[in-house]
Amino acid sequence: MAFNRKDLLGTRELTVEEIKTILDTAESFKEVSTRSIKKVPTLRGKTIINFFFEPSTRTRTSFEIAAKRLSADAVNISASGSSVTKGESLIDTARNLQAMAPDAIVIRHRSPGVPHQLAKMVEASIINGGDGAHEHPTQALLDAFTIRERKGELAGLQVAIIGDIMHSRVARSNAHLLTKLGAHVRVAGPRTLVPPQFDKIVGESEGSITVCNRIEEALEGSDVVMMLRIQRERMSDAFFPSLKEYSIHYGLTLERLALASPECIVMHPGPVNRGVEISSEVVDSARSLVLDQVTNGVAVRMAILFLLAGREID
Amino acid sequence: MKLLIKGGRVIDPSRGVDEIADLFVEDGRISALESESPDEGIDIFDASGFVVAPGFIDMHVHLREPGEEYKETIASGAAAAVAGGFTAVCSMPNTSPVNDNASVTRYIIEKARAAGLARVYPVGAITRGSEGKELAEMGEMKEAGAVAVSDDGRPVMDSQVMRHAMEYACDHNLVVVDHCQDLHLSAGGVMNEGRCSTELGLKGIVSAAEENHVARDILLAELTGARVHIAHISTAGSVEMVRAAKRRGLPVTCEVTPHHLALTDEAVISFDTNTKMNPPLRSEADRKALIEAARDGTIDAIATDHAPHHFDEKMNEYDCAPFGVIGLETALGIALKVLYHEAGIELSRIIEMLTCGPARAFSLPGGSLEIGAAADVTVFDAAREWTVEPERFKSRSRNTPFAGWLVRGAVVTTFVDGRQVFRAG
């Protein structure tokens, strides 16, 4: 099998071969969720800890359901803040987790790099469930899975990613992953929220990244549009003046969507701010795959847990 | 007490000397050579194959005492200094309490005297508590032994306060040392802003945050006539402004750290918190500009910004870990590897930045082997390769980005006042 990693830390380091293995494995697991008894014994006796230092409903639930449908024992731990506010250093957190002998730890943390740091300290597989604005590999994998399911192939597709690129781990993980699979990524957003040299973050790949000055430019003829959630608190940091102005200038409406290819699909990592970055008409339209993304998220996470936590089984 | 340092390559940039020669020391001072066959009561150190230089001066270290002795003490910092070939260091005032008054200044000098290794020259604060509001008692600190003033790490944001500080420092013939950082532009930043920060999702510190204050300080130096020293210069833009200021004859000097000469922000991709310091590691273009500025004389000094932190503090999330790395014991090996062996800069120029360069910038004694000077001497092997092993450091802390590096250039022995204070084991 073309997957021999201890951890899944990001999409940056994945090979095309590994990505295809994950997506193919997810395809075979997708059917499990459609059975009346939605469970296979694949990971029986394995322990998976979902350690979320940041509030999350969707991702945590998705991982929990994925683990349970594979018959693993899943435990959720929530904490808030950093090691500094918690009063326990990262290394002690790691050692305590390791002492409970889990097979895999899904970690979400507000600080970039925490999964990478923990992966060096523990024997369990570390799965990055989102580290600050850095990476969110399982989201990008479920996005690629959803696109592939609808479009068949990613190579040559034009994918627009629009909104707060700066603070988005989804944008970064997708930039790496989609370009590896040969898609052409265009990003756009208010200039305050597009970080410098975003088009330089990926290495050699079949696809490309273009930073567009206007959202219309990014939408023009695109096959896939991914809208990113805009956080209200960005206003207080002077990134943009108001949600109203944001929706007028950067929001996805049916009118703007008409610039894209007629078969263009619309995605959003959730939770959606209706009427802000995306209008209700678009969210509720047949082109919106928001709920397919959620469904596929379980299958993709089952595949990842299987490939990592189940690795000694083979 | 007589000492003969025999047969070394004596490089003393303060006098333009670079020759194979013997160096004679009597009663702690450099002395004229007595005769070809010295008498019996003399210690002889065979320096053949080695470079004999004035003792190095590090104008920017954090010794953490008083207040954070678990990171470093004046004694452990002084031991690290002499192991790195530094016979004098200037200690920054951000201790607890801050060195903003003569009693703290005197305390530091007392502790350094008791340690008896490197000379320690305290740098006083610019403002009380380094809070950027009211001026600290510079006159009294100067009388107690402070050699310069700085609010290092907590830059003076209010330009009017800075102007007054410069005017007042002129009265007391003190150099104003600035850690140039516009705290608004850099807010929340933990690394250089650029391709790497974009990739890692870490908040960046844009070059303009440094350059903004370099520009301001140069303008204020011109306005007030004060001597201004730019600490740990890190960007190509800052270098260019200092070069232009010097061309115009302004009394502006600057220093560079070994880590900014050797590393770029690519090192942060490992999420190793020992790559986190302030100013941050910059781009390759910046690094190259720093090397050229070292070559052409724009940079006056190599200073380590030795900033010890405990392992427990550094072993945390990248964005929560404290800024700073240690540097006293790796400075020579890094400087020679990068500037001499890689960039081909002459040894005498590099030694200038470690000796008379900083001495001139702060009007310190030392930095010269002229007859009658205190016999502060560093002997090193410019070619020797060695591997950086933090567990062997004299410093109390281990936070170096160079662990495991193969470097070139090793200190053989260090003398202060003619006394051997370090000898490589």
Assess whether B147 and B272 both reside in one domain. Answer: yes
The CA-atom distances, in angstroms, between A291 and each of A143, A160, A271, A286, B412 are 11, 19, 11, 11, 69
Choose the closest CB to A84 out of B198, B271, B316. Answer: B316
Assess whether B67 and B212 both reside in one domain. Answer: yes
Please check whether residue A90 touches B, CB under 8 A.
Answer: yes
Backbone Cα Rg of chain A: 19
Choose the closest CB to B319 out of A112, A195, A201. Answer: A112
Choose the closest CB to A201 out of B198, B319, B320. Answer: B198
Token digits of residue A282: 């678009």
For position B34, what pLDDT does the model report?
64
B342: which residues sit within 8 A by CB, 6+ positions away? none
For position A82, what pLDDT does the model report?
67
**Given an 8 Å threshold on Cβ–Cβ distance, is A196 in contact with B199?**
no
Assess whether B32 and B66 both reside in one domain. Answer: no
Assess whether B129 and B30 both reside in one domain. Answer: no
Q: Phi-psi bin for A230: left (phi > 0), alpha (psi -120 to 50), beta?
A: beta
Short-list B270, B290, B94, B272, CA closest to B207: B290
**Given an 8 Å threshold on Cβ–Cβ distance, is B318 in contact with A113?**
yes
Token digits of residue A45: 């006796």
pLDDT digits (tens, 9 = 90+) for B358-389: 999 999 999 999 999 999 999 999 999 999 99
- The DSSP letter of residue A258 is T
Assess whether B380 and B309 both reside in one domain. Answer: no
Round to whole Å and give the CA distance between B138 and B99. Answer: 10
Decide if pLDDT at A237 tops 90: no
**Given an 8 Å threshold on Cβ–Cβ distance, is B315 in contact with A91?**
yes
Decide if pLDDT at A18 tops 90: yes
Decide if pLDDT at A57 tops 70: yes
Torsion of CA B79, B84, B88, B89, to 10 degrees: -80
Single-letter amino acid code for the residue at B142? K
Give mean pLDDT, residues B289-318: 97
pLDDT range class, residue A1, cuts 50, 70, 90: low
- The DSSP letter of residue B27 is T
Which chain A residue has the Cα nearest residue B322?
A84
Assess whether B266 and B222 both reside in one domain. Answer: yes
CA of A262 vs chain B CAs: smallest distance (Å): 32
Q: What are the strands, taking DSSP E only, across chain A?
A: 47-52, 73-78, 104-109, 125-131, 158-162, 184-188, 208-211, 224-227, 265-267
* B331 in Cβ contact with B395 (< 8 Å): no
Round to whole Å and give the CA distance between B23 and B415. Answer: 12
Bridge-based pairing state of the strands A47-52 and A104-109 = parallel
* A153 in Cβ contact with A26 (< 8 Å): no
For position B48, what pLDDT does the model report?
97
In chain A, the domains with their CATH numbers are 16-135+294-309 (3.40.50.1370), 137-291 (3.40.50.1370)
pLDDT range class, residue B258, cuts 50, 70, 90: very high
| Averaged pLDDT of chain A | 94
Token digits of residue A134: 């850095």
pLDDT range class, residue B221, cuts 50, 70, 90: very high
Decide if pLDDT at A314 tops 50: no
Count of the separate structural domains present in chain B: 2
Within-domain flag for B418: yes
**Given an 8 Å threshold on Cβ–Cβ distance, is A90 in contact with B194?**
no
* A92 in Cβ contact with A113 (< 8 Å): no
Which CATH number belongs to the domain containing residue B31 in this structure? Answer: 2.30.40.10
Short-list B215, B204, B144, CA closest to B178: B215
For position A106, what pLDDT does the model report?
97
Within-domain flag for B131: yes
CA of A113 vs chain B CAs: smallest distance (Å): 6
Within-domain flag for B397: no
**Given an 8 Å threshold on Cβ–Cβ distance, is B316 in contact with A90?**
yes
Assess whether B152 and B182 both reside in one domain. Answer: yes
> Chain-centre distance of CA B4, in angstroms?
29
Question: Which among A116, A121, A192 is the top mutation candidate for probing chain B, defined by the most B β-carbons within 10 Å of its own β-carbon?
Answer: A116
3-class SS string, A79-97: CCCCHHHHCCCHHHHHHHH
pLDDT range class, residue B206, cuts 50, 70, 90: very high
Within-domain flag for B47: yes
Give mean pLDDT, residues A205-215: 94
* A172 in Cβ contact with A199 (< 8 Å): no
CA of A237 vs chain B CAs: smallest distance (Å): 11
Within-domain flag for B280: yes
* A9 in Cβ contact with A312 (< 8 Å): no
Decide if pLDDT at B200 tops 90: yes
Which CATH number belongs to the domain containing residue B122 in this structure? Answer: 3.20.20.140
* A53 in Cβ contact with A81 (< 8 Å): yes
CA of A259 vs chain B CAs: smallest distance (Å): 29
Assess whether B44 and B122 both reside in one domain. Answer: no
Give mean pLDDT, residues B339-348: 98
The CA-based angle B180-B184-B188, given to 5 degrees, is 100
pLDDT range class, residue B38, cuts 50, 70, 90: low
Round to whole Å and give the CA distance between A294 and A33. Answer: 12
For position A204, what pLDDT does the model report?
86
Decide if pLDDT at B213 tops 80: yes
pLDDT digits (tens, 9 = 90+) for A60-90: 999 999 999 999 999 998 887 666 677 788 8
Within-domain flag for B13: yes
pLDDT range class, residue A313, cuts 50, 70, 90: very low
Assess whether B163 and B228 both reside in one domain. Answer: yes
Give mean pLDDT, residues B60-76: 98
For position A80, what pLDDT does the model report?
76
Single-letter amino acid code for the residue at B269? I
**Given an 8 Å threshold on Cβ–Cβ distance, is B315 in contact with A134?**
no
The CA-based angle A295-A299-A303, given to 5 degrees, is 160
Short-list A239, A248, A178, CA closest to A210: A178
Short-list B279, B302, B291, B417, CA closest to B358: B302
ipTM: 0.95
- Using a CB-CB distance cutoff of 8 angstroms, which residues of chain B are in contact with residue A200? 195, 198
Give mean pLDDT, residues A130-146: 98
Phi and psi angles of residue A169, each rounded to the nearest 5 degrees, phi first = -75, -25
Backbone Cα Rg of chain B: 20
- Using a CB-CB distance cutoff of 8 angstroms, which residues of chain B are in contact with residue A91? 315
Within-domain flag for B395: no
Active site residues of B: 305
pLDDT range class, residue B343, cuts 50, 70, 90: very high
Round to whole Å and give the CA distance between B301 and B148. Answer: 15
* B238 in Cβ contact with B210 (< 8 Å): yes
For position A2, what pLDDT does the model report?
74
- Pick the range with the lowest mean pLDDT from A227-231, B63-67, B231-235, B406-410: A227-231
Single-letter amino acid code for the residue at B328? L
Round to whole Å and give the CA distance between A99 and A299. Answer: 29
- The DSSP letter of residue A278 is B
Helices (H) and strands (E) in chain A, counts: 12, 9
Assess whether B217 and B204 both reside in one domain. Answer: yes
Owning domain of residue B266: 56-362
pLDDT range class, residue A264, cuts 50, 70, 90: very high
Neighbours of A17 (CB within 10 A): 10
A 166-205: CB under 8 A from B = 167, 169, 172, 195-198, 200-201
Please check whether residue A117 touches B, CB under 8 A.
Answer: yes
Assess whether B287 and B240 both reside in one domain. Answer: yes
Neighbours of B118 (CB within 10 A): 32
For position A55, what pLDDT does the model report?
86
Which residues of B sit within 8 Å Cβ distance of A? Answer: 193-195, 197-202, 204, 271, 312, 315-320
Assess whether B47 and B171 both reside in one domain. Answer: no
Decide if pLDDT at B184 tops 70: yes
Within-domain flag for B223: yes
Token digits of residue B145: 């032994």
pTM of the shown model: 0.95
Burial class (CB in 10 A: 0-12, 13-18, 19+), A265: buried
By percentage, how much of chain A surpasses pLDDT 70?
A: 97
Decide if pLDDT at B35 tops 90: no
pLDDT range class, residue B177, cuts 50, 70, 90: very high
